C-alpha cells in the first residue's frame, strides 16, 4: 500500500541505492513485513489490553534509536503527537472503565426486565 502512495513524492528525490544499501533496503522491507505479520498474529492470539503497552513503547523506543543511530532530535511535533496518542488512549480507557462499572453495578432485576 505504501509503495504506490509514496511513488509520486519519491520521484522528486529518488536516488538508486548503491552497494550495501540494497541489503539494508531488503532487510527493512523483510523485517517490517515480518513485524506487521507477527503483530497481527499476536493481536489474534492475545488480549489487546495486554498488548497495548507494547504498542505504546514503540514511540519512545523509535525516538531513542533515532537519536542514538541517526543523531535525530525529538521536536515539538513528536511530543504533540505522543501527547495526542496518550490522551486519546487515556480517555478511551477511562470511558471503558466507567461503562464496565455501570454494567457491573446494574441490578439483575433491571437487566432481566421483560419486553426491553
pLDDT of residue 113: 58
pTM attached to this predicted model: 0.56
Residue with cell 543511530: 69
Q: Which SS3 state, helix, strand or coil, does residue 5 take?
A: helix
pLDDT of residue 107: 61
pLDDT of residue 42: 92
Rounded to 5°, the CA angle 82-77-50 comes to 15
Domain parsing of the chain, residue ranges: 18-46, 57-108
pLDDT of residue 115: 58
Residue numbers in the chain where pLDDT is lower than 70: 107-116
Tens digit of pLDDT for each residue in 29-55?
999 999 999 999 999 998 887 787 787
Q: Are 57 and 72 a contacting pair, CB within 8 Å?
A: no
pLDDT of residue 49: 76
- Kind and range of the H or E element at 77? helix 76-105
Amino acid at each position: 500500500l505504501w509503495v504506490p502512495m509514496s511513488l509520486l513524492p519519491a520521484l522528486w528525490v529518488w536516488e538508486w541505492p548503491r552497494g550495501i544499501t540494497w541489503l539494508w533496503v531488503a532487510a527493512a522491507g523483510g523485517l517490517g513485513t515480518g513485524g506487521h505479520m507477527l503483530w497481527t498474529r499476536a493481536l489474534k492470539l492475545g488480549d489487546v489490553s495486554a498488548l497495548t503497552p507494547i504498542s505504546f513503547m514503540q514511540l519512545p523506543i523509535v525516538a531513542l534509536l533515532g537519536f542514538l543511530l541517526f543523531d535525530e532530535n525529538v521536536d515539538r511535533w513528536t511530543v504533540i503527537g505522543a501527547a495526542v496518542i496518550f490522551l486519546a488512549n487515556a480517555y478511551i480507557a477511562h470511558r471503558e472503565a466507567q461503562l464496565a462499572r455501570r454494567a457491573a453495578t446494574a441490578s439483575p432485576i433491571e437487566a432481566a426486565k421483560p419486553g426491553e
